[in-house]
Amino acid sequence: MNPLDRRDFLTRMTLAAAALSLPHYGFSSIGRADDFVTTDTTYGRLRGARKDGVNLFKGIPYGGRISGDRRFRRPATLEPWTGVRDALEFGAPAMQGPRRNEPAPSEDCLFLNVWTPANDSKKRPVMFYSHGGGFVGGSGAAGGQDGSNLARNFDVVVVETNHRLGLLGFLYLDELAGSDYAGSGNMGMFDIVDGLKWVHDNIAQFGGDPNNVMIWGESGGGAKTSCLYAMPSAAPYFNKASIESGPGVRMASKEIAAETTAMLFRELNIAPKNWRKLLDIPAADLLAMQAKLPFAPPFQEKNNKKSLMERRAGGFGPVVDGVALPHNPFDPTAPTISRDKPLLVGWNEDEFTFFAWERKDTEFAKLTFETLPKQLETQFGENTPQIIETYRKANPNATAPDIFIAVSSITMMGLGSVDIAEKKVKQGGAPVYLYNFGYKSEKKIPGTDYAMGTPHAMDISFKFNNEIPPRDGSAPKESFFGGNRPERFTASHHFAELWTTFARTGKPAAKDVPAWPAYNLKDRPTMRIDTTCEVIDNRFSQELAMWRSIGKV
């Protein structure tokens, strides 16, 4: 049992996406809609469904074909339709393993979903969400992300896309395939930009304001948001952003992406000059080959030996190609292109308990202060004694498992989040707000007496305000991660109100929540989100000073 390092992260995000598709978080069925509603778009008329005060349009195509001769390229032109097209069923997710309660994955996957209080002329803020799952899994219909409660309770419009993932979305062919394949290493990101352009052109018909769009996302969706924040093609289509438990500070270089492509050709026994053979291989076979390649982190971090960790070849994600993604999203600085766009960034306090749960790891809960060093040395080497000493001093009542979880969680998601916040402040533009989500679930990790706390991905159902009592007055069901305590409903409302207010105004605020000051390098204020929220200055000051001293921030 070892700490989860960034090289393992991408694999785990695929599994996380599958795990969070369980029926505990299922979307409302449209089969018993209160009524149907139609609206116009630039491509034709759509029919959606109205239920419980929300209009939901599912499976709206926003791009054309990306299979056949369009594989690894920009989509074919989306052709308009005549008559009224039903938008009552979710569209196919990108190629991946089967997903619960969703259509079969397909190479042609450019669909989006819209939740709105009404298709009227009211200019509501638009919350454009990128799903998690690293860069290899997930969809815009993933469990926990139902936008109904946000739309109904906070008068916003929610949009979620499917987009290319993995090898089909991020295989770097620019140096082999010619101008038609320019930007091939970022096709999955270009798809999201196309979704944003669709919003710009059409969302007014759904009661949304095309000039007030917030991009946001958790885990892999946070890393996607980090990239969008730095992409010139995305810049005209959003006004603010939120990066949640997925700080995408650095992405793959062209050199590493080219090595990954060469690795794929070797595995397929294809000479690079014969790259066109990739167009004839069934998508399912490419997916199987993707699973055989080594995984690499979707983003990179500092280590204590050199300024940047060299990412190993393998794995698929955005490429710093100098054009689509001109530079690393937040290295060496925050992107100038988004200087004037407010930003939220943060992480969950106990991120790592999710991965212990997912891997059925019970050994961490048996750690003692005698055995803890061995578990951390694999990742931190000679710095391990200093790390443990610092955490024991800063957290005198913490057990050895507590320290293991704290160290693993902050290195996974926290240090990159702080790095982003600091670089945004140094830029001197729009404000950045740093947060920690801290509501504690009492659910135990199976096989242990250790509570989940605030695991990775638990924030999804909270920030979408999907932790609420049933509307029919029946007894609440246990939340998949959030447990049984009714206090979770208050924490969920705080989280959702803070985010929707930020979407509306560019400044997060909520009733019964203290004023949230923008992050600065003097007080370093952090909002801790819980049943009772509080602003904490210089949070984790001892721990962060230590991480800086060994070059991790």
What mean pLDDT is predicted for residues 297-306? 44
Helices marked H in 213-279: 220-228, 254-268
Q: Residue 145, Cβ neighbours under 10 Å: how many? A: 27
Q: What is the mean pLDDT of the chain?
A: 92
Which of 164, 181, 206 lies closest to 57, judged by CA?
A: 206
Mean pLDDT value of segment 195-222: 98
CA distance 392 to 463: 32
Q: For residues 11-21, give the mean pLDDT.
A: 44
**Is the pLDDT score of 308 beyond 70?**
no
Among 148, 184, 219, 441, the active-site one is 219
CATH class of 342-549: alpha beta
What's the pLDDT at 471?
82
Distance, CA of 550 to CA of 553 (rounded, Å)? 8
d(CA 495, CA 493): 5
Using 50, 70 and 90 to split pLDDT, how confident is the model at 313?
confident
- CB contact at 8 A, 205 and 120: no
CB 190 within 8 A of CB 183: yes
Give 378-435 pLDDT, tens digit per residue: 999 999 999 999 999 999 999 999 999 999 999 999 999 999 999 999 999 999 999 9
Is 330 in contact with 338 (CB distance < 8 Å)? no
Residue pointed to by tokens 């801290």:
438
| Longest CA–CA separation in the chain, Å | 71
pLDDT of 73-115, one tens digit each? 999 999 999 999 999 999 999 999 999 999 999 999 999 999 9
Q: Is the model's pLDDT at 21 over the cut of 50?
A: no
Segment 275-288, tens digit of pLDDT:
999 999 999 999 99
pLDDT given for residue 461 in this prediction: 97
264 three-state secondary structure? helix
Kindly give the pairing relationship between strand 432-437 and strand 343-348. Answer: parallel
**Beta carbons of 136 and 165 less than 8 angstroms apart:** yes
Residue 32 has a CB neighbour count (10 Å cut-off) of 8
Burial 485-517 (b: 16+ CB within 10 A, else e): bebbbbbbbbbbbbbbbbbbebebebeebeebe
Contact present, 461 and 20 (Cβ < 8 Å): no
- Distance CA(138)–CA(133), nearest Å, equals 5
Task: Tell which residue, 138, 139, 66, 135, has the closest CA to residue 107.
Answer: 66
Q: How far is CA 4 from the centre of its chain?
A: 18
Q: Rounded to an integer, what distance in angstroms lies between the CA atom of residue 150 and that of residue 170? A: 32
Across residues 62-76, what is the average pLDDT?
A: 98
Q: Is the pLDDT of residue 204 over 50?
A: yes
d(CA 527, CA 91) in angstroms, rounded, equals: 37
Determine the length of the chain.
553
Number of neighbouring beta carbons within 10 Å of residue 520: 15
pLDDT score recorded for residue 32: 63
Confidence band, pLDDT 50/70/90 cuts, at residue 6: very low
Mean per-residue pLDDT, 29-41: 79
| pLDDT at position 20 over 90 | no
| H/E segment holding residue 534 | strand 534-537
Q: Which fold has domain 6-252?
A: Rossmann fold (3.40.50)
Q: Specify the DSSP class assigned to residue 479.
A: B
pLDDT of 51 above 80: yes
Is the separation of the CB atoms in 225 and 241 below 8 Å? yes
Listed in order, strand segments (DSSP E) in 238-385 are 240-244, 252-253, 319-320, 343-348
pLDDT tens string 323-362: 999 999 999 999 999 999 999 999 999 999 999 999 999 9
Phi first, then psi, for residue 442 (nearest 5°) are -85, -5
CB within 8 Å of 417: residues ≥ 6 apart: 243, 247, 345, 346, 347, 434
Higher pLDDT, 32 or 219: 219
Distances (CA, A) of 87 to 30, 55, 58, 398: 10, 11, 5, 52
Tokens read off for 479:
């939340």
Domains 6-252 and 342-549 share a fold: yes
Tokens of 312: 């190993």
408 given a catalytic annotation: no
Q: What is the separation, in whole angstroms, between the first and last Cα of the chain?
A: 25
CA angle 442, 444, 447 (to 5 degrees): 170
The type of residue at 14 is: T
3-state secondary structure of 471: coil
* Strands, E assignment, 177-322: 208-218, 240-244, 252-253, 319-320
As a whole number, mean pLDDT of residues 123-133 equals 98
Q: Phi first, then psi: give them for residue 313, nearest 5 degrees.
A: -65, 155
Sign of the dihedral through C-alpha 402, 403, 406, 409? negative
Using a pLDDT cut of 70, give the percent of the chain over it.
91
Residues 6+ apart with CB under 8 A from 490: 531
- pLDDT range class, residue 489, cuts 50, 70, 90: very high
Q: Cα–Cα distances in Å, from 302 out to 80, 224, 530, 552?
A: 48, 20, 30, 5
For residue 476, pLDDT beyond 80: yes
Domain coordinates in residue numbering, the chain: 6-252, 342-549
